[in-house]
Amino acid sequence: MHVGVFDSGIGGEAVAARLRELLPQAHVVTAHDHPNVPYGSRSEDEVYRLTKQAIQPLLSARCAVIVLACNTATAAAIDRLRVDYPNTAFVGLEPMVKPASTLSASKTIVVCATPATLLSQRYQRLKRDWTAGITVIEPDCSVWAEIIETRRADQVDLDPVIRAVQREAADVVVLACTHYHWIKLQVESAVGSHVTVLEPSDAIAAQIRRITSAIRGH
């Protein structure tokens, strides 16, 4: 079975690599939109239009499942794409606010996301549904995706995240952009072993397994 992975830039490659490990029976193909990266500062309509255009190679490859490995694209486009292409299963990414809130003993979490994701209705709904009694810190990560995309991951400023952990006793950090997966080890090293750093690759694989099992069952 063909599984497509789309991201605006290189973040999707990290997701695809993990999916190839977890789903060895699947043929994982990728698509990107390097000329227009990053998406995080664009309007929802623009992100939808760019995403629809960029996934055409995955649709042409007859991917049964397409992963929108981009929180910004998921928030802006996934509902409309499901209407546009009803015979394709779309798996989106959402910030892991629910598991972070459940895991946090200190009741303080850090969400690292693009401006577009933080402003999206999906993210606001997640916060409303799952963070009652939880302090959510949203450091300025607006330049992270561009820095990582240009292969300068070692230059990402993690000080705002470190301060949140040290001053506010945050004990869970959510990486809510697939570009940030490339710096997961840097973040873990910076915040210390007592802090849990979450990213959704394993959850995506589990969802794909459920979808493919359902397809085979028909």
- Which residues lie across from 135 on neighbouring strands? 108
In whole angstroms, what is the distance from residue 117 CA to residue 120 CA? 5
Active-site residues, by number, are: 70, 177
User: Which residues does 174 contact at the CB level (< 8 Å), separation at least 6?
Assistant: 95, 96, 97, 100, 109, 110, 111, 112, 113, 198
Other residues' Cβ atoms within 10 Å of the Cβ of residue 85: 14
User: Which residues does 22 contact at the CB level (< 8 Å), separation at least 6?
Assistant: 201, 202, 205
**Interaxial angle between packed helices 159-168 and 184-191, expressed in degrees from 0 to 180 and rounded to the nearest 10:** 40
